[in-house]
A = this chain, B = another copy of it.
């Protein structure tokens, strides 16, 4: 019973927080804009204006370098390793720490007018505007600067990380003296800041993350209590250099630096080249220098009034697990040669074309909601920046926008980001799943360390080795195996990519199913049900429990899916099957064992409360008194010892609710409502993963206002900095969750084992909603208003699905419009495998009028099925009146 002085009730996870200053950040449907410079929230703006392509990411540090919360350029998967020192060691604790490296900064282009540098913090800025353009795919800044001598200087700069050219970034820098002339110097640099090379940065303040190491704590909400404290930049894990210089090349307008990471041995090369555009009569002097940790090209000239000087800075990064840096330097040369031949203008056009295509596939229109529309597009744009060119890597929890979570991959990608990819850009999803396949060897070794068969994916990792130093909220989250299997099956069902299933997919499914079958056990005292003990579910406010509902539901799915995939491959592609048998040592009857365990999986159910307990002991706990918890004691993890938190019914995120979204076909509508009603008030939302799932399930349960509140929490989490840690990077999973909340929540789409259905829940205050999904190669535009839902094939041939239970067939050139019933009552979402039934009551006492589509009743979940049968029998009893 924690001492809790009375205080205002907390908002139960719905924290809309401070409103944005719309005069500074005006609403724009296709851009994020900033109309005046402020150093007060650099951490946030560096993140939300960042540019990237899933491989390379650059925080929105100003061209001038200098003042920053943290300078940062990140390459997905490019990491240093270190030995994790546990304050107390134990067998099997993670040993190989991994952290994304802050790679050399190429953003720096400094201007000196009359030898006076532009310093945003002190400059007299007559105009300032910064725009992240979602269609152009670049960050544009325009300033008019009045120098101390009183001269007006116009500077327009752009920064773009190319989508079509994975290894390329392009910056342009235009300077015009507006009302006078002056001698000008423009210095373009590469700076290795990872190893502290700020000696080049003449007015640099201490780096934000370095400052943080001096005592400031960050909030970390997915990877353990304070995963970011784990950032070795903070904890001093690196005593020496991270990047060992191996290459310095310098010739003409190009400089190249190459490095090798001290411990991970990964290699990197970075090169820059320059094009200068100026009137032919103006002499331009060029100086350059190169050192271990930096390179610089300085262009000096005398600028007459009204003449524009332009520098195009082409930058290339290449990285490798071990190819010599000199070889990577050659690759940079090839990228730069090709790019400069194409030219800046055409590269910018190609970027726009790539994004046009992206928006065609992915755009979501929230009609009549301009502020939300902007935020939605920002989220979708961030999803592109986090995933598009990850290729061979996973999707870090912060994309490539910051060092948060050390650049690690979590289940975030499979459960929160991959649905978006699968239904809009399946190639991105396939990349992630292929990446997981490459980690299978490490996952097999990890399973063995945990005394288990099969493969156990690490809770957090870059290189495939478990990097979670707090096992209770890390390694114990075995569910990651099933999360990966879930995304895989969803991908295969949505795309029909059976070839992937038969090769990489089967390996993952079989090895994860084996892990579950070995981890769980048959319990004779319980009429031979299958149990899983000693695991942690997604809700990290309860750890190491028996029969976590989420875990069991997902493991059940995983084992059944593996058995199905084996059977399907054996039937449809005997050659692939034989190869798999040989490759995986599949033995007779193995799949039948998984199927049996899946069928008999124990799913906790409490008859008295009529809910699914989060785990077998969850209801033994007291309920945390959230109403009396001081608002400044949230998030709980920063104010209470884990032992205290674990002792109560209180949630970081509601994993029962999540399970009932992901495996909605396994649960009745009544269950979903009962469980939502039970868990939502216990949910703090201290996890950034919480809000969008609550939005989806609130929508399904018919709590429209609540759904919208949760949606907004997810939508503005970074733009409004609701979790006060946007500085550490974007919450990619929340951005993915925003798409899911739009399509699954308000659009009411479900994919139950390949059966697509829609049962929309358009918020009252919204005019209409338009989104696209791609099903087996057919892209469908879905347009939803309060009366109808229309489907138009934009690309591909045809698709079949249901709308509120009624089958719909749509073909190219033949849009279909479905009239929606207009009653207010919530309806059954999805194609049920359990019969729903009318007459049951919601928490508010109202009776659900839902008419159940006549679907066959399939397998029911143990106790739950019995409860439903009992309720049905009760309902059928003759009325005593």
Contacts and interface: CB of A to CB of B under 8 A. Distances in A.
A476 interface: yes
A524 to B, nearest CB: 10
B642 A471 contact: yes
Contacts of A620: 533, 546, 616
Interface string A424-462: 000000000000000000000000111111000000000
A225 B643 contact: no
Given A518-B1, A544-B646, A644-B451, A224 B88 contact: yes
A310 B543 CA distance: 66
A92 B448 CA distance: 33
B521 A1 contact: yes
Contacts of A475: 641, 643
Interface string A343-365: 00000000000000000000000
Contacts of A471: 641-643
Contact of A87 (B2, B469, B533, B535): B469
Contacts of A452: 1-3
A523 B235 CA distance: 43
B92 A451 contact: no
Interface in A344-401: none
Interface stretch (A17-25, A226-234, A664-672, A831-839): A226-234
Interface string A101-121: 000000000000000000000
Interface string A330-343: 00000000000000
A314 to B, nearest CB: 41
A87 B88 contact: no
A646 B534 contact: yes
10 contacts: A86-B469, A87-B94, A87-B469, A88-B230, A89-B217, A90-B637, A91-B639, A93-B641, A450-B644, A472-B472
A229 B640 contact: no
Interface string A861-873: 0000000000000
Contacts of A628: none
A575 interface: no
A604 to B, nearest CB: 12
Given A521-B622, A523-B622, A534-B647, 6 more contacts: A3-B452, A87-B469, A87-B470, A90-B226, A533-B620, A543-B544
Contact of A534 (B87, B533, B643): B643
Contact of A91 (B86, B523, B640): B640
A499 interface: no
A539 to B, nearest CB: 16
B91 A230 contact: no
A448 B217 CA distance: 21
A471 B448 CA distance: 26
What are the 7 tightest A-B residue pairs by CB atom distance, in nearest-first order? A87-B469, A92-B641, A2-B451, A90-B225, A534-B647, A88-B470, A89-B229
Nearest to A639: B91
A14 B29 CA distance: 75
A640 B518 CA distance: 15
A638 B93 CA distance: 11
A3 B448 CA distance: 9
A94 to B, nearest CB: 8
A476 B643 CA distance: 7
A225 B616 contact: no
A-side interface mostly: loop
A642 B450 CA distance: 9
A229 B91 CA distance: 12
Contacts of A644: 92, 450-451, 534
Contacts of A472: 472
A94 B87 CA distance: 10
B92 A642 contact: yes
B88 A227 contact: yes
A643 B91 contact: no
A88 B475 CA distance: 13
Contacts of A226: 88-90
A643 B92 CA distance: 9
B451 A3 contact: yes
A38 interface: no
A621 interface: yes
A643 B87 contact: no
A578 interface: no
Contact of A641 (B90, B521, B640): B90
A509 B225 CA distance: 34
A647 B472 CA distance: 13
Nearest to A471: B643
A576 interface: no
A24 B406 CA distance: 57
A249 interface: no
A646 B621 CA distance: 20
Nearest to A635: B91
A617 B546 contact: yes
B1 A90 contact: no
A92 B534 contact: no
Contacts of A638: 91
Contacts of A16: none
A620 B534 CA distance: 11
B91 A637 contact: yes
A616 B616 CA distance: 12
Contacts of A639: 91
Contacts of A535: 643
A218 to B, nearest CB: 10
A643 B91 CA distance: 10
A533 B641 contact: no
A91 B518 contact: no
A872 to B, nearest CB: 28
Contact of A85 (B85, B476, B617): B85
A84 interface: yes
Interface string A756-796: 00000000000000000000000000000000000000000
Interface string A469-495: 111101110000000000000000000
A640 to B, nearest CB: 6
B90 A621 contact: no
Contacts of A474: 88
Contact of A470 (B85, B90, B227, B468): B90
A488 to B, nearest CB: 25
B450 A87 contact: no
Interface string A590-630: 00000000000000000000000000110011100000000
A643 B617 CA distance: 17
Interface string A530-565: 000111000000011010000000000000000000
Interface in A659-698: none
Contacts of A543: 544
A640 B451 contact: yes
